[in-house]
Every structure is written in C-alpha cells, then in structure tokens.
C-alpha cells in the first residue's frame, strides 16, 4: 500500500524541515510498531521509501541556487492580449541516460549526450501565454479549459493527476504568483500585474513517446511566463528551473530531457557526485556537413508501444540504494560510454557514435530489466546488419527509405507503427521581441524559440 499512514507524519515533517536526525530517529521508533507480521513490515518499508523521496526532493531542489531570477519592472511586461509563444524541439538520448536521474545523478555523478530534433520538420512541443484583464488564471490544454481563481485551487499542483498540475506548478515555479501571499489570488494578480493570465500548452507527440515531452513542456511554460512578465533568463537557469518544477509536482525525474529540448544541437551535460545539484551543459561543435550527414542517417520509428512500466523508476531506485554491484558498475559504464560518444561526435565518426548507441541500449536494459518488448527486439535484430546503431529511445541510424523497405518486407505490418521524418535541430532558445504578425521559420540557429505576437 501507499506510504501515507498518519503514524509516520511526524517523521516526514521533520525530514521536510531538513531535520534529518530527528526524522530518522522518529522513523526508527515508529518502525518498531510494524514488525509483527510480514505485511506490516512491508508497509513500514513503503514509508521508508516515502522518506527517501522527501530527501531526494530536497536534494534536487538544491539546484534552485543556480536559477538567476531578476524581477523586471512593469514596463518590461508584454501588453495585455499579446501572446508570448514558445515552441520547442523534442530530444533523443544518445548515451548516458539514467545517470541524470536522482539520486544517481548526485550520488554517483552523471553524463548524458543527446540532441534536439524536429519531427516532420517542426517543433512539436509548445506553450503560449497572454495577460488578460480578468484577475484569475485560465489554463488551456487541448480541449480542456480550467479557471484558477483561488490559492487553494492553485496549490493542488502537488497532486500530479490534478487537472493542469504542470501549468499550476509553472506559475509558482516561475514566481509569477506565490502561495504565501497574504491576500486572495485575485488581489495578488491585481497588485502585481493589474490582471490575470491565459496559458495554453500543446504537444504533437504521442504519450509515452520517450522524447522528453513533459520536461520540455515544463521548460516552455516557464520560458513564456518569464518572457511575458519581463524576467531575463538563460538556458542554464531554465534547465535548473525545470528540475525545481518537477520536484514541486512530486513526480521526480532527471534533467536530460529539458537539456535536450532547450539547448541547441548536440550536447553533453554533466553533474558531479555532490550537492548542490548543478548541471553543466557543453554544446558539441560540429561542422554543418556532419550535421547533414547525421540527419541523413537519422530515422525515428514509432512503435505505438510505451517503453516504461509505471513502477520501473521505483525499482531502479530500490536497486540503487541496495547498491547492487551490477547496477553500480553499469552506472560507471554509462558515464564512460557518454564520454566516448562525446569524443566520437568531436571526431565526426558516425560508426563510433552508432557503436556507443548500441552499447547504451544494452546498458539501459541492465538498469531497467524488462524495458525491451519482444516486438522491438525483433526489429533490432532485423536491422542490426544494416545500421550504425539503434536504441529504444527512438533513434535509428539508417536512411528513411531503407527503413521503410525493411519495415514492409521483413517486419510484419502493424497499424500503429510508422516511420517518422526526423531532423536534428541545430536551433536554440531565443527571444523575438517584436510585436506584430506571427511568422517564423523552423530551420535556423535555435532549438526552442520564443516570439511575441
């Protein structure tokens, strides 16, 4: 069962306050009351896992100090009814994934190589916001529209299944509003902005695509909110802000997704085995000719199957805290492979990149046993003689036309499986300050972009 028994609340409160000594002592004292049967013992263990999650959340939120925030004056805000829009690339992970996941990322240290990609020539993830005269928040997600008119409704972002939880957390994480304000939400919005906000989000990727949608969407939300209220920011601040937002949501998660979608092109991002958690991102400089070569060998196949079981992350964390030798050795290997992949990009060696990708997929299976469906294994075996490398995250290093021939001839057709047109995106986040007609190009020098119209 869930780890939420009231008997453990005092211990959890201590941990939330940062009082680890009394929190652990109180946990141990309560544990003694749960040793009368195997079922009760398991229930107590669930509460120890909940305690660990509190400590992980506090550790990741140490990244807050790397968010450079300067509130601008009212003249820097966009006018009412003027949209601020952000559109972002998706990301593919090429090496090192799982080492960005807490607690591995700050206990062991992490390194991930990934890339921003366009899907069918477009950025598939986006958000837009405008100031409105009404003193409330309007959240729009597809056909769903929510009006937030109280602090109590806003505070439900800690319940991940709550409608609009990510958008609500975005307003608080970006410090557009605060739950600690003495008055009502309407009074707070009136005092700070003279009105409210209407925020829309979208993604044209299927749920469970493995392309980093939720974290990248969180980055787009924070970016448009900061831009709308006139707060200057950097990619680095945005990456760390998403870490904070995901902990506010209590969903956890690593940092490589937002790095992949926010920062342009190919990059390697690293974290050290220490706190506070800091993500250092380095763009991998390669000539345009190699970018073209990579694009010509990059294909995404959507299988229609989600990759991860719901309890997979929990099992990885359990095995990590048990310090299972194969898991610790594999974490070492993941970082080593990421650094080798980084060197292969610098040398523009497509075969070596593919070899790292193959090695990476085997390492991911050690980290998360059972993550490879039999159908995908068959696809990988069929394609292996013809490709540089392949991984479940969505990258296939071979030509699109050859994939389609293999697909139609050697792999039984399934209605939900399609080969998509992907392109490595060499663009990055930028601001287009002009106000006027919305017009932009998909190909340029940015990976996610913000414009005002």
Q: How far apart are CA 104 and CA 317, in angstroms?
A: 8
CA atoms within a 13 Å half-sphere pointing along the CA-CB vector of 374: 0
Q: What percent of the chain has pLDDT over 70?
A: 84
* pLDDT digits 0-9 by tens, 100-128: 999 999 999 999 999 998 888 889 999 99
Per-residue pLDDT of 235-274, as tens digits, reads 999 999 999 999 999 877 899 999 999 998 999 999 999 9
For residue 369, pLDDT over 50 is answered with yes
Q: Would you state the pLDDT for residue 307?
A: 52
Strands 196-203 and 90-95: unpaired
Q: Which residues contact 417 (CB under 8 A, 6 or more apart)?
A: 301, 302, 303, 304, 407
User: Which residues contact residue 165 at a Cβ distance below 8 angstroms, ignoring those fewer than 6 apart?
Assistant: 156, 157, 158, 159, 249
For the cut 90, the answer to whether the pLDDT of residue 418 exceeds it is no
DSSP letter (8 states) at residue 83: -
- Rounded to 5°, angle at Cα 164 from 163 and 166: 130
CB atoms within 10 A of CB 211: 27
> What is the tens place of the pLDDT at every residue in 371-389?
888 888 888 898 898 899 9
Instruction: Choose from 356-360, 404-408, 448-452 the range with maximum mean pLDDT.
Output: 356-360
Long-range own/partner contacts, residues 378-387 (CB < 8 A, 24 or more apart): 378/411, 379/301, 379/303, 379/411, 382/406, 382/410, 382/411, 387/354
Q: For residue 336, what pLDDT band results from cuts at 50, 70 and 90?
A: very high
410 neighbors 430 (Cβ within 8 angstroms): no
Is 165 within 8 Å of 249 (Cβ atoms)? Answer: yes
pLDDT of residue 126: 96
| Residue 452's pLDDT band (cuts 50, 70, 90) | low
The answer to whether residues 252 and 53 touch, using CB atoms and an 8 Å cutoff, is yes
Over 90: is that where the pLDDT of 420 sits? no
Q: What is the pLDDT of residues 279-293, one digit of tens each?
A: 999 999 999 999 988
Q: Which of 42-51, 123-132, 153-162 has the lowest mean pLDDT?
A: 153-162
Neighbours of 318 (CB within 10 A): 15
Query: Which pLDDT belongs to residue 159?
Result: 85
Structure tokens at 392: 């479940």
Compute how many other C-beta atoms are within 10 angstroms of the C-beta atom of residue 423: 22
Residue 211: is its pLDDT beyond 90? no
pLDDT greater than 60 at residue 447: no
pLDDT exceeds cutoff 70 at 28: yes
What is the token pair recorded at 149? Answer: 């008119």
Q: What is the pLDDT of residue 206?
A: 81
- Please report the pLDDT score of residue 2 as a whole number: 74
Q: Is the pLDDT of residue 325 over 70?
A: yes
Q: Do the strands 431-432 and 448-452 form a parallel or antiparallel pair, or are they unpaired?
A: parallel
**CA–CA gap between residue 150 and residue 186 (Å, rounded):** 7
């Amino acid at each position: 069962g869930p780890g939420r028994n009231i008997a453990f609340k005092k211990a959890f409160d201590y941990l939330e306050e940062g009082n680890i000594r009394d929190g652990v002592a109180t946990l141990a004292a309560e544990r003694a009351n749960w040793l009368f049967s195997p079922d009760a013992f398991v229930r107590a263990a669930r509460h120890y896992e909940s305690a660990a999650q509190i400590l992980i959340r506090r550790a990741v939120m140490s990244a807050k100090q790397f968010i450079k925030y300067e509130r601008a004056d009212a003249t820097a805000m966009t006018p009412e009814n003027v949209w601020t829009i952000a559109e972002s690339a998706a990301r593919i992970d090429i090496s090192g994934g799982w080492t960005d996941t807490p607690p591995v990322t700050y206990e062991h240290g992490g390194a991930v190589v990934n890339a921003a990609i366009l899907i069918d020539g477009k950025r598939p993830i986006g958000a837009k916001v405008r100031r409105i005269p009404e003193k409330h928040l309007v959240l729009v997600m597809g056909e769903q529209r929510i009006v937030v008119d109280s602090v109590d409704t806003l505070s439900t972002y800690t319940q991940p299944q709550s409608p609009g939880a990510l958008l609500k957390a975005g307003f608080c994480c970006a410090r557009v509003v605060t739950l600690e304000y003495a008055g009502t939400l309407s009074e707070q919005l009136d005092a700070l902005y003279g009105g409210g906000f209407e925020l829309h989000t979208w993604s044209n990727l299927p749920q469970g695509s493995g392309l980093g949608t939720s974290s990248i969407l969180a980055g787009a939300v924070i970016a448009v909110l900061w831009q709308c209220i006139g707060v200057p920011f950097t990619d680095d601040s945005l990456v760390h802000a998403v870490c904070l937002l995901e902990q506010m949501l209590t969903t956890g998660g690593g940092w490589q997704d937002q790095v992949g979608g926010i920062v342009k092109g190919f990059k390697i991002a690293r974290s050290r085995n220490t706190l506070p958690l800091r993500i250092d991102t380095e763009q991998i400089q390669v000539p345009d000719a190699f970018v073209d070569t990579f694009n010509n060998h990059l294909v995404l196949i959507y299988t229609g199957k989600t990759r991860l079981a719901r309890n997979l992350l929990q099992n990885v964390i359990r095995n990590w805290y048990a310090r299972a030798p194969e898991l610790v050795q594999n974490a070492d290997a993941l970082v080593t492979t990421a650094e080798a992949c980084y060197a292969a990009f610098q040398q523009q060696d497509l075969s070596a990149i593919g070899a790292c990708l193959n090695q990476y997929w085997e390492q991911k299976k050690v980290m998360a046993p059972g993550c490879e469906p039999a159908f995908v294994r068959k696809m990988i075996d069929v394609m292996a003689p013809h490709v540089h490398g392949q991984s479940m995250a969505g990258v296939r290093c071979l030509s699109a036309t050859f994939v389609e021939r293999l697909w139609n001839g050697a792999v039984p057709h399934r209605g939900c499986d399609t080969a998509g047109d992907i392109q490595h995106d060499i663009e990055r986040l930028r601001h287009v300050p002009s106000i006027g007609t919305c017009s932009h190009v998909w190909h340029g020098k940015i990976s996610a972009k913000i414009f005002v119209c």
